[in-house]
């Protein structure tokens, strides 16, 4: 290890913390010194010229933010890891704006500190010219609703879109969550002669039966409590265009009967009304379940099933079209750069290999979320392995998660096996919930899943906290 990268200075007025961190970091091969005041720490940094500094936010003689500001003025490339005992949003934001590399709360998690130091060393190596094989990300046109793929199966889907878009044929799109079923529905609509008319979408699993019926068909004033005025439904709003109904398998048998009648007779009535309303809507439905299995179970009408599947498009999970992942990564990096005003232009070969080999339980949506978070966390123009391992589930991220659990319990060096992907998914969801302070709406955005699905996962795994789950997984693997 380079001598400058080997030096770490800790600036903290808590002597016990300094001693504990010193012992731990020295065991990891670092040359560690510490200071108990801001002025002493600044002088030590000027004298010893370390590239990594661990800095407490509250010091007896000055504010840690001011020390951070001075250290960055001495050398803007210093990696300052801030630590604090206070859950203070404003201070955290200020520290990151002033150039802090990482921000860790007390009591300090050893695995979190190790991860921050490892990332700082890795970034230093790149900064000082140690070569890492990277791939340059070319700039590309970011079209709204663009479907990316060059695999044989995606080429067949593109052909199907080209054929069915020219008519008003009913289309059923089947595929796992996050595979891009709505993008395919939009591609059918916007490549059709009716692209000038509305494209309206509705998620059938997001509403209870009574509300879903009103959303689809509209209601008359006074039709039910709270119906203060007449409201047009999706079939009216989408007239002459396309109505996309996602998660059709979640629709009740009662509503399935009414939908079948609309498809057969091309007319419907508002809730509480008697007037027959004609419709000229093309209906495209999507499901992450196999409707034929639901038919066999008596949960879906067979006659409606055959009415919906005039044309069926099976969208493959991302793990079955790995050759598309590098192209998707290029597209998504360009898209996130554009959306967030960032300029990431390189990705390491190891990072891309990690992405290609991940099982992607959440498919394309999960890939986009992971890339977005990686770019938000990156302070450079490149993405490396370190930007992804924490967020990945399954085999590609399993080693990182196991290391996190073991290091948190001081058991370095043990070889472990986690029983199943469920353990990783459970821990990942719990961490996101803890990170968002159990704001389920924000957690759904990060995880790329619907609110009902998140509730099912919480019940399935009996999720209460990431810390408790870590302990349970540790019991399994030790």
Tell me which range, 112-126, 292-306, 349-363, is most confidently predicted by mean pLDDT: 292-306
| Mean pLDDT across 436-452 | 79
Query: What is residue 321's three-state secondary structure?
Result: coil
Q: Please give the pLDDT value at position 403.
A: 39
Tell me which range, 142-146, 418-422, 467-471, is most confidently predicted by mean pLDDT: 142-146
Query: What is residue 197's three-state secondary structure?
Result: coil
Axis crossing angle, helix 440-447 with helix 363-377, rounded to the nearest 10: 100
Band of residue 171 on the pLDDT scale cut at 50, 70, 90: very high
* Contact indicator for 424, 397 with CB cutoff of 8 Å: yes
Among 24-28, 123-127, 375-379, name the one with the lowest average pLDDT. 123-127
| Mean pLDDT across 97-125 | 82
Query: What is residue 55's three-state secondary structure?
Result: strand
Q: Does the reported pTM lie above 0.85?
A: no
Q: Please give the pLDDT value at position 110.
A: 84
Among 120-129, 364-373, 406-415, 432-441, name the one with the lowest average pLDDT. 406-415
| Mean pLDDT across 204-208 | 87
Q: What domains sit in the chain, N to C, each tagged with a CATH number? A: 3-131 (3.40.50.2300), 152-318 (3.40.50.300), 340-477 (no CATH)
* Contact indicator for 351, 333 with CB cutoff of 8 Å: no
The predicted-structure confidence for 395-430, as pLDDT tens digits, reads as follows: 444 444 443 333 333 333 333 333 445 666 777 788
What is the C-alpha separation between 30 and 21, in angstroms, rounded?
11
Tokens of 73: 């003025």
| Mean pLDDT across 347-353 | 90
Q: 83: buried, middle or exposed (CB in 10 Å: 19+, 13-18, 0-12)?
A: buried
Cα atoms in the 13 Å half-sphere on the side-chain side of 301: 16
Band of residue 1 on the pLDDT scale cut at 50, 70, 90: very low
The mean pLDDT of the chain is: 83
Q: Please give the pLDDT value at position 128.
A: 57
Tokens of 376: 């938000």
The predicted-structure confidence for 40-86, as pLDDT tens digits, reads as follows: 999 999 998 898 999 998 899 998 999 999 998 988 888 899 998 77
């Amino acid at each position: 290890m380079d001598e400058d990268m080997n030096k770490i200075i800790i600036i903290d007025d808590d002597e016990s913390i300094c001693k504990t961190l010193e012992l731990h970091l020295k065991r990891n091969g670092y040359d560690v010194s510490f200071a108990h005041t801001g002025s002493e720490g600044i002088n030590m940094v000027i004298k010893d010229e370390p590239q990594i500094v661990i800095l407490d936010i509250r010091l007896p003689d000055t504010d840690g933010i001011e020390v951070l500001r001075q250290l960055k003025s001495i050398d803007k490339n210093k990696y300052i890891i801030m630590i604090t005992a206070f859950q203070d949003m404003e201070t955290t934001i200020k520290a990151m704006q002033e150039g802090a590399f990482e921000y860790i709360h007390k009591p300090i998690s050893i695995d979190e500190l190790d991860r921050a130091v490892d990332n700082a060393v890795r970034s230093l190596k790149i900064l000082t010219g140690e070569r890492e094989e990277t791939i340059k990300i070319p700039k590309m046109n970011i079209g709204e609703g663009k479907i990316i793929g060059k695999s044989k199966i995606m080429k067949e889907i593109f052909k199907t879109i080209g054929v069915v878009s020219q008519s008003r044929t009913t289309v059923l799109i089947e595929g796992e969550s996050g595979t891009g079923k709505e993008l395919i529905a939009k591609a059918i609509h916007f490549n059709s002669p009716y692209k000038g008319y509305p494209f309206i979408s509705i998620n059938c699993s997001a509403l209870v039966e009574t509300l879903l019926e009103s959303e689809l068909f509209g209601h008359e004033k006074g039709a039910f409590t709270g119906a203060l005025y007449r409201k047009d439904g999706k079939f009216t709003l989408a007239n002459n265009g396309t109505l996309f109904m996602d998660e059709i398998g979640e629709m009740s048998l009662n509503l399935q009967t009414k939908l079948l009648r609309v498809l057969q007779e091309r007319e419907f009535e508002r809730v509480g009304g008697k007037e027959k309303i004609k419709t000229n809507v093309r209906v495209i439905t999507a499901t992450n379940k196999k409707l034929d299995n639901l038919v066999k179970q008596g949960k879906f009408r067979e006659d409606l099933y055959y009415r919906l599947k005039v044309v069926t498009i099976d969208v493959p999970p991302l793990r079955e079209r790995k050759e598309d992942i590098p192209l998707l990564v290029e597209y998504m990096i360009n898209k996130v750069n554009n959306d967030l005003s960032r300029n990431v232009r390189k990705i390491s070969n190891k990072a891309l290999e990690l992405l290609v080999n991940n099982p992607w339980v959440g498919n394309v949506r999960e890939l986009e979320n992971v890339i977005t978070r990686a770019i938000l966390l990156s302070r450079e123009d490149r993405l490396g392995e370190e930007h992804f391992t924490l967020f990945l589930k399954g085999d590609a991220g399993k080693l990182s998660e196991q290391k996190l659990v073991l290091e948190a319990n001081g058991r370095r060096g043990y070889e472990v096996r986690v029983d199943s992907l469920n353990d990783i998914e459970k821990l990942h969801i719990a961490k996101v919930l803890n990170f968002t302070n159990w704001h389920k709406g924000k957690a759904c955005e990060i995880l790329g899943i619907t609110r009902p699905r998140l509730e099912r996962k919480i019940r399935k795994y009996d999720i209460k906290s990431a810390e408790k789950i870590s302990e349970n997984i540790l019991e399994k693997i030790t």
